[in-house]
């Protein structure tokens, strides 16, 4: 699952090594997925008053390439909550959207998946 920063990097820079690695990973797992939060952030960024026509074009071209947008359902909320609690207990809380982005995958897997925990 890609977060907003990675999606932005891929869209802006289109680094060949990252694109190849992403293609390999997509073949091994369920494809290229983002959370509903990431999708919302990308779409919102493309609709802002400071969004350049190039940025809008990049988002419009990138989003249809996604294999899935993970919904923010009960499992995602539970996963988000688990991540927030674990990070707070570790003394390393992160932003609300960052935990919400990780939530669907953690909820789907039924466990925490962050390498920072």
Query: DSSP characters for 59-116?
Result: HHHHGGG-SEEE---HHHHHHHHHHHHHHHHHT----HHHHHHHHHHHHHHTS---TT
b/e map of 27-38 (b: 16 or more CB within 10 Å)? eeeeebbbbbbb
pLDDT digits (tens, 9 = 90+) for 72-112: 888 888 888 998 899 999 999 888 888 888 887 777 776 55
How far, in whole angstroms, is CA 11 from its chain's centroid? 13
Residue 112 confidence (pLDDT): 54
pLDDT of residue 42: 93
Predicted TM-score (pTM) of the model is 0.73
Indicate the pLDDT class of residue 115, thresholds 50, 70 and 90: very low
Residue 79 CA from chain centroid, whole number = 14
Give the model confidence (pLDDT) of 9-56 as tens digits: 999 898 899 888 888 877 777 688 898 999 999 999 999 888 899 999
């Amino acid at each position: 699952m890609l977060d907003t920063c990675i999606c932005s990097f891929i869209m802006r820079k289109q680094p060949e090594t990252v694109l190849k690695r992403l293609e390999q990973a997509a073949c091994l797992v369920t494809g290229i997925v983002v959370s509903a939060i990431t999708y919302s952030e990308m779409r919102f960024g493309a609709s802002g008053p400071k969004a350049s026509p190039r940025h809008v074009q990049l988002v419009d071209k990138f989003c249809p390439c996604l294999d899935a947008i993970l919904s923010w359902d009960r499992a995602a909320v539970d996963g988000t909550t688990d991540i927030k609690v674990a990070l707070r207990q570790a003394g390393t809380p992160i932003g609300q959207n960052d935990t919400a982005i990780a939530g669907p995958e953690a909820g789907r897997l039924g466990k925490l998946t962050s390498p920072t925990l």
